[in-house]
């Protein structure tokens, strides 16, 4: 999975591309650790180019969401494609996340 990071004021947007699986978790963990080290108030995951997620990725998203809450930060998911949205719906995890149809809406929600 390819990950690009961009900072907008007090938030970091991580643009994910490819399959979000056990094999790609290390790079994701590294990027999210960097976001925490930057002392931002929130993280937005741009998911529009994520083609699939496995159970380990879902577990890590839940852990990241909890870590953000524990540290008074927010995690938002933006632009979920149909496959990823369906995975979150089937697993009944969708309500646990703040989701936005568009990246710009997720970024603006911090204002």
Among residues 20, 74, 25, 73, the alpha carbon closest in space to that of 48 is found at 20
Q: Provide the whole-model pTM.
A: 0.93
* CATH number for the domain that contains residue 93: 3.30.750.24
Q: How confident is the model at residue 36 (pLDDT cuts 50, 70, 90)?
A: confident
The predicted-structure confidence for 54-78, as pLDDT tens digits, reads as follows 999 999 999 999 999 999 999 999 9
DSSP secondary structure string for all residues of 58-96: HHHHHHHHHHHHHTT-EEEEE---HHHHHHHHHTT-GGG
93 phi/psi in degrees, rounded to 5 = -100, -15
User: How far, in Å, CA of 77 to CA of 65, rounded?
Assistant: 10
- Tally of domains within the chain: 1
The predicted-structure confidence for 1-31, as pLDDT tens digits, reads as follows 999 999 988 899 999 999 999 999 999 999 9
The predicted-structure confidence for 73-111, as pLDDT tens digits, reads as follows 999 999 999 999 999 999 999 999 999 999 999 999 987
Structural domain including 36 reads 2-108
């Amino acid at each position: 999975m390819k990950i690009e990071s961009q900072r907008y004021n007090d938030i970091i947007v991580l643009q994910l591309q490819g399959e979000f699986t056990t094999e790609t978790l290390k790079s994701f963990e590294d990027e999210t650790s960097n976001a925490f080290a930057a002392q931002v108030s929130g993280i937005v995951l741009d998911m529009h180019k994520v083609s699939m997620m496995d159970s380990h990725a879902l577990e890590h998203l839940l852990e990241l969401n909890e870590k953000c809450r524990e540290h008074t930060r927010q995690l938002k998911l933006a632009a979920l494609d149909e496959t990823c949205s369906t995975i979150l719906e089937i697993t009944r995890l969708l309500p646990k996340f703040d989701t936005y149809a568009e990246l710009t809406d997720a970024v603006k929600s911090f204002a």
